[in-house]
Amino acid sequence: MSLTDIDKQIEELQKQKKEMLKSQKSDAIKQVKQLINEYQITMGSIRNAIFIDFDSKGKGIKADLNGVQPKSKK
């Protein structure tokens, strides 16, 4: 086996890695979209403003989070 052969193998493995990452990212995006739809996640819930309902104008009605303690970060 020569250095040229090894370089070719490295190049092929890098191509395989790139394709694999692309496939995994695509699958992850599909899964995230499915979870967003399944749990009806909104931008408000991502921003920690949890809406319990929407008024007639489509504005979110925030949940009363008084007394709720946030998780401590470790």
Query: Given pLDDT bands bounded at 50, 70 and 90, which one contains residue 72?
Result: low
Is residue 44 within 8 A of residue 51, CB to CB? The reply is: yes
Q: Where are the domains of the chain?
A: 8-62
Reply yes or no on whether the pLDDT at 15 is more than 90: yes
Q: What type of residue is 19?
A: E
For residue 44, is pLDDT > 70? no
State the pLDDT at residue 5. Answer: 96
CB 49 within 8 A of CB 62: yes
Q: Is 67 helix (H, G, I), strand (E, B) or coil?
A: coil
Residue 25 CA to residue 27 CA, distance in Å, equals 5
Query: pLDDT at position 56, please?
Result: 78
Say if CB 65 and CB 52 are below 8 A apart: no
The per-residue pLDDT for 70 is 61
